[in-house]
Chains A and B, each alone.
Chain A
Amino acid sequence: MIQEKVAETPAASGEAPMLLSLRNVGKVFSNGVTALSKVDLAIREGDFLSLLGPSGCGKSTALRLIAGLSTPTSGQLDWRGPIDRSNIGFVFQEPTLLPWASVFDNVWLPLRLKGVSRAKAAPAVMEMLSRVHLTGFENAVPRELSGGMKMRVSIARAMVTKPRILLMDEPFAALDEITRFKLNNDLLELWQDERFTVVFVTHSVFESVFLSSRVVVMAARPGRVFGELPISAPYPRDEVFRTSPDYAALCRQASDVLVDAINSTAGPHHDGH
């Protein structure tokens, strides 16, 4: 089966069916800022795609467009097959939890909003909590948790509806490095088990290379796709990969593209004046 083959060699994502393509997408804000210009992007089922770029390159805007939180000014988004919002999971930069609600209630929320009762939702919620290693914390409130644990709750909440695509907007940027590495590993574990599609926004070269099957580098002013780098290293990736020469070489490549992307912005900016 094709599905099986994809699971074994995710780098060959070219063989997986297309999930979403952005064609010539642009977004201009009402204040005149061009956040995105002529973005073409193909996202395949099972991709772990990172959007890497400097701040202001429109990577978060692209994510909001995909989530349907915002509509494009030009171009279009083509989903394969019908997609509704319950097929989309979203993890924000902040944990964005309800501070008055318990961990259980926070994870239950997306199901609750769809009318699923507490009792009916309990198995799914408890399973997700165990998947993010938070069993036993279901009655805690967010302020009793560490930053990393809050982010785990946020991920569990996004995944509890079993979305086809998970959108993550710099989710680990505010965490310390040790916690970030741990969450990186756990996220990959989750992804390998379920094979959902991930679009991961980050400004960290190292994080994007470690996690992704594809890194899409974006440039700013106007926000656009600058280049793409397939990361062919096999999964599962672990601490051995994190310290391997392969990883260092890939980071170097990605970093070079990112530097070019940043310079491509700075160049005309200076010449223009």
Chain B
Amino acid sequence: MTAIEDTALKLDPEEARRARQERLERIGKWVLPLAIMVLAIWLWDRICVWNEIPQYILPRPGVVLQTLHSDAGLLFSSLLVTLRITFLSLLLAVIGGVGLAVLFAQSKWVEMSLFPFAIVLQVTPIVAIFPLINIYVNNQTVKLLLCAWIVAFFPILSNTTLGLNSVDRNLRDLFKLNGATRWQQLRYLRLPAAMPYFLGGLKIAGGLSLIGAVVAEFVAGAQGQSSGLASRIIEAGYRLNAPRLFAALILISLTGILIFLVLSLVSHLILRRWHESALKQEH
């Protein structure tokens, strides 16, 4: 790159403008959101000071940061509880979603018969289902897991099903010509072809499993049965402990961002050599 620039390649004004534009965009992509974030936090702080807003209504950012530090023990042990539910439910969503999708791919009849049930589970708000789960399931962890799973498994199921079914027709013929068994077709053709779709679903499900875990904790926490971050938020709300409420909220947000970034990275690493989506990211 620098070598090309050093040889003083004579660019016409249009190309020079384009090159400058690209350089600016590369920098701006990182600097702009950061600058806006800093500005927003500063404004938040100023608004608190200018309007003399009491701490129990809107704490200053510095206070929230302090609370994050002083309440670290309590908050992080709660975060661990929430994370455990999140990852377990994501794992179950992957197993359940991919398993069902593979089952669906075996026969159009199975898919036609069962897919509506998956949709019913998906469209019914989890908050409305939870009281039922609360009655039928005793174990607290199982309760939360079931809740988060119902929220998270659908994108994986629907994306993977789509992927398994969108295999190139000629490739299917090729496998047929070579006498491939059903298992070989699944193993060497359909599953790899479904990978980009599955990873897309996984990215959505990662966020949803966190949301599912928090929502489940909220509903369960309202009955004083949970010790995750959501119950910390409810508790802090009752006690007008706004700094802790904000601290817990920030932890949940950061967790969500981290999950998304990790899953994006996983997806990029798996697809980078062959899939168009990863190809575009490189340039």
Contact = CB atoms under 8 A, between A and B. Distances in A.
Interface string B149-174: 00000000000000000001011011
A92 B192 contact: no
Interface string A20-46: 000000000000000000000000000
A interface: dominant SS: loop
Interface string B168-186: 1011011111111000100
Contact of A114 (B170, B178, B192): B178
Interface string A90-134: 101110101111000000011011100000000000000000000
Interface stretch (B16-24, B76-84, B207-215, B272-280): B272-280
B interface: dominant SS: helix
B44 interface: no
Nearest to A97: B171
B188 interface: yes
Contacts of B177: 67-69, 85, 88, 90
Contact of B188 (A67, A68, A109): A109
Contact of A143 (B178, B188, B279): B279
Contacts of A113: 175, 178-180, 184, 188
Q: Interface extent on B, as a size class?
A: 20 to 34
A10 interface: no
Point out which of B171, B177, B179, B180 has the most chain A C-beta atoms below 10 A from its C-beta. B177
B274 A143 contact: yes
A86 interface: yes
B189 interface: yes
Given A88-B177, A113-B180, A141-B273, 18 more contacts: A67-B177, A69-B173, A84-B179, A90-B174, A90-B177, A92-B170, A96-B174, A98-B171, A98-B188, A98-B192, A99-B274, A100-B273, A101-B192, A109-B178, A110-B178, A113-B188, A114-B179, A141-B274
26 contacts: A68-B177, A69-B173, A69-B176, A69-B177, A85-B179, A90-B173, A90-B174, A90-B177, A92-B170, A92-B173, A96-B168, A96-B170, A98-B171, A98-B192, A99-B275, A100-B195, A100-B273, A100-B274, A101-B192, A109-B174, A109-B178, A112-B188, A113-B184, A113-B188, A114-B178, A114-B179
Interface of A: 67-69, 84-86, 88, 90, 92-94, 96, 98-101, 109-110, 112-114, 141-143
Interface of B: 168, 170-171, 173-180, 184, 188-189, 192, 195, 273-275, 279
Q: Which 3 A-B pairs have the closest CB atoms?
A: A96-B170, A113-B178, A92-B170
